[in-house]
Chains A and B, each alone.
Chain A
Amino acid sequence: MALLECQHVTKRFGGLVAVNQVDLQVEPLSIHSVIGPNGAGKTTLFNLITGFYRVDEGSILFEGEPIHWLSPTHIARKGIARTYQNIRLFGDISVLENVLIGMHTHLRSWVFEPILGIRHFLDEERQAYKRAMELLEYMGIGEWAFFKAKNLPYGQQRRLEIARALALEPKLLLLDEPTAGMNPKETEETMALIKRLRDDFNITILLIEHDMRVVMNISDIVTVLDYGEKISEGTPEQVRSDPRVIEAYLGRGAATAMAMATSSTAQGD
């Protein structure tokens, strides 16, 4: 059974159909990429999955249960965490505390526990602190733990955002353009990191990217969106050679040219 399943999901903004009848099946422990040119509806799809937008038609199932009517808080508690394309950390709070906020649902002490059961409360906090530090070390930003999040360099902020999402102990991690604004070397490192995340934390990863070259090496399945519609899906190789994908990315002329080029080489052979 697919971990996440979108069935004929549609979202309209006024007359604009941002996401149109999209079906998506994310298999457990896979790295699944959604690619498409700018404005293809990728981020809208993420906002639908995390509950910030309501679907107009269709349904979204997580572990077989419909989640499209739940609030973002409850969807997060079901085990879906995400990062943003434009980083959204809690800037005035320390790096460590950003991660601790990610652990919110896993800590039990509420308003009265710190007063009535001080020892238990301290134990729990100590463990949370330890775990948060481990996560930061894992992401390679341990030495920044006591800085304000907004004072981190850009690349480190991205890593912190992923660390904060991991603190939720999600089953599904949604990454919205995790390499935006990075140079080729950083991009490569990040992609390697994403692959490691899947293996070390046993999570499923759904990734948005507009640059299709970036995801080709690490993705198990690639879904291509264009103008809100799914135009192609399959392994990276299948997608790469799909004429509709080339057309969406490079325009109709390029697609025919490519098709002619391939057919002429075929004839040449």
Chain B
Amino acid sequence: MWERLRYRLRYVSGTDVALWIVAALLLVMITVGSYNSLTSGRYTGKQWFDFIISGLAQGSIYALIALGYTMVYGILFMINFAHGEVFMSGPFTAYFLAEVLEQRGLFETNPWLALGLVMLLSMAVSTVVAVSLERIAYRPLRGAPRLVPLITAIGASFFLQYTFRGLYTPGFKAYPEVQPLKGTWTLFGLEIQRMLIAVFVSSLLLLLLLYAFVQFTKVGRAIRAVAEDQQAAALMGVDVDRTISITFAVGGAAAGAAGVFYALMFRQVNFFMGFFPGLKAFTAAVLGGIGNLPGAMLGGLFLGVFESLGPSLFLEGLGVPAAYQLKDAIAFTMLVLFLIFRPTGILGERLAKRA
């Protein structure tokens, strides 16, 4: 017994000890903060419930974007840092359609049709941007060292941001309201904002649909085959280049849909809107285990809820002023902690295997 413990201790470095102390401190902070907040009675049960629901809605948007990060990573082992801009391009372009439709009164007379059209346009634009990005910026660099496409991705991100700024002017644009999604529904005796439920449910459906696509169709199988072994897949008659394009297209379509949900929730779009959701979704993908599809979905939801509950649950209990503004800090602290303590993510094991 003591022998074994001594043996173990020989492999403990100073860094390990320091990290354990950090982890312990954080655990204490989280427990004390949560205890204080929950016992202080500053928020009612209903308010906690609202935090969770809005976290889930926000998280399902992250999950949709994270899907693109994780699929591209799975197949090319690169982080597509321009994915946030793919997310922005769709709803930003679709805004102009939405504006016209609103002026014509279609959002009044037939809101679902109007929403559907906006959605379709947004998804189409994001898909086209994602596929062209791969074709123009990444494909020529296939086989280059892994750092090269990463830097290209950052460049492409700036290029897209400022192209759209130039095209559509830098100001914020307000998305039209969808009447049937205003107000609240009462479910199980609780009042819930319709918008949040609608976003959450439709994102979840879309996620399931995309997951089924990857799991159960010929093209999805080809995607997974190419992710594992490009050469062997080519030998099975799978067109590798085309499969990679489809992967980008699927990620782009998901991001385009997420973009519309985002625009409906926050009611505004602008050329910079992809930056933070993009980073958050990347965080979500890492939390879930990058390269792992269910992981990205889980990571997104987890991050959304954590970010929405975190400020009031952990920080206010510790007496931090204006805690809600530290929402982003909480998300990125999570990223750092996960990279330190569990770099493989919640579900993943692939990163460790491949890095």
Contact between chains at B218 and A81 (CB < 8 Å):
no
Which residue of B216, B231, B237 has the most chain A CB atoms within 10 A of its CB atom?
B237
Q: List chain B residues, Cβ under 8 A from A76.
A: 234-237
- Do A88 and B221 touch across chains, with their CB atoms under 8 A apart? no
Residue numbers in B under 8 Å from A72 (CB-CB): 231, 234-235
Interface string of A123-153 (1 = CB under 8 A from B): 0010000000000000000000000000000
A168 and B236 within 8 A (CB): yes
Is residue A252 contacting chain B, with contact meaning CB distance below 8 A?
Answer: no
Majority DSSP secondary structure for residues of B touching A: helix
- CA A129 to CA B2, docked complex, whole Å: 56
Beyond A88-B231, A92-B228, A93-B225, whether A102 also contacts B236 by CB under 8 A is yes
Stretch at the interface among B135-143, B178-186, B238-246, B338-346: B238-246
B229 part of interface (Cβ distance < 8 Å): yes
Shortest C-beta distance, B187 to chain A (Å), equals 30
Interface assignment of A101: CB less than 8 Å from any CB of chain B: yes
Tally A-B pairs: CB < 8 A.
Answer: 73
**Which one of B229, B231, B246 contacts A111 once the chains associate, using CB atoms below 8 Å?**
B246
Task: Please report which residues of chain A, range 70-112, place their CB below 8 angstroms from some CB of chain B when the two chains form the complex.
Answer: 71-73, 76-77, 81-82, 84, 88-93, 97, 100-102, 104-105, 107, 109-111
B224 at interface, CB cutoff 8 A: yes
Q: How many residues of A contact B (CB 8 A)?
A: 31
9 new A-B pairs (CB below 8 Å) besides A104-B222, A109-B217? A71-B234, A90-B225, A93-B224, A93-B228, A97-B224, A100-B218, A104-B236, A105-B237, A114-B213
- The docked-state distance in angstroms from the alpha carbon of A76 to that of B233 is 10
Interface string of B192-226 (1 = CB under 8 A from A): 00000000000000000000010011110110110
Taking a contact as CB atoms under 8 Å apart, the answer to whether B236 and A125 are in contact is no
Q: How far is the CB of B201 from chain A (nearest CB, A)?
A: 19
With beta carbons under 8 angstroms apart, the residue of B229, B231, B238, B249 that contacts A104 is B238
Residue positions of A touching B, CB distance < 8 A:
50, 52, 71-73, 76-77, 81-82, 84, 88-93, 97, 100-102, 104-105, 107, 109-111, 114, 121, 125, 164, 168
Shortest Cβ distance from A81 into B: residue:
B235
| Any A CB within 8 A of the CB of B232 | yes
Which among A72, A110, A125 has the highest number of chain B CB atoms within 10 Å? A72
0/1 per residue, B280-321, Cβ < 8 Å to A? Answer: 000000000000000000000000000000000000000000
Asked if A104 and B228 sit within 8 Å, CB to CB, the answer is no
A110 partner, pick from B219, B221, B225, B233, beta carbons under 8 A: B219
Question: B217 contacts which chain A residues (CB < 8 A)?
Answer: 109, 114, 121, 125
CA distance A208 to B317 in the complex (A): 71
Residues in B lying within 8 Å of A, measured CB to CB: 213, 216-219, 221-222, 224-225, 228-229, 231-240, 246, 249
**Complex CA–CA separation, A89 to B124 (angstroms):** 35
Alpha-carbon gap, A82 to B218, bound state (A): 21
Question: In whole angstroms, how far apart are the Cα atoms of A73 and B241 in the complex?
Answer: 10
Minimum CB–CB distance for A125 against chain B, Å: 7
Give the nearest-CB partner of B219 in chain A.
A111
- A164 CA to B235 CA, complexed, in Å: 11
Please determine whether B235 and A82 come into contact, CB atoms closer than 8 angstroms.
Answer: yes
Find A97's partner among B221, B231, B240 (CB 8 Å cutoff): B221
B224: chain A residues within 8 A (beta carbon): 90, 92-93, 97
Bound CA–CA A84/B213 (angstroms): 30
A-B contacts, 15 of them at CB < 8 A, read: A52-B231, A71-B234, A72-B231, A72-B234, A73-B239, A81-B235, A88-B231, A90-B229, A101-B238, A104-B218, A104-B237, A105-B236, A109-B217, A114-B216, A121-B217
CA distance in complex: A72, B234 (Å): 6
Once the chains bind, are A90 and B237 in contact (CB under 8 Å)? Answer: no
Bound Cα distance A89, B225 (Å)? 9
Residue of A nearest to B222 (CB): A104
Q: Bound complex: CA of A82 vs CA of B234, how far in Å?
A: 11
Within 8 Å CB of B221, what residues of A? 93, 97, 100-101, 104
Hey, which chain B residues are within 8 Å of A101, CB to CB?
A: 221-222, 225, 233, 236, 238
B251: shortest Cβ distance to chain A, in Å? 13
Collect the chain B residues with CB atoms within 8 Å of residue A93's CB: 221, 224-225, 228
The 7 closest A-B pairs by CB, nearest first: A105-B237, A76-B237, A72-B234, A107-B218, A90-B228, A88-B232, A101-B225
CB distance from B174 to the nearest CB of A (A): 33
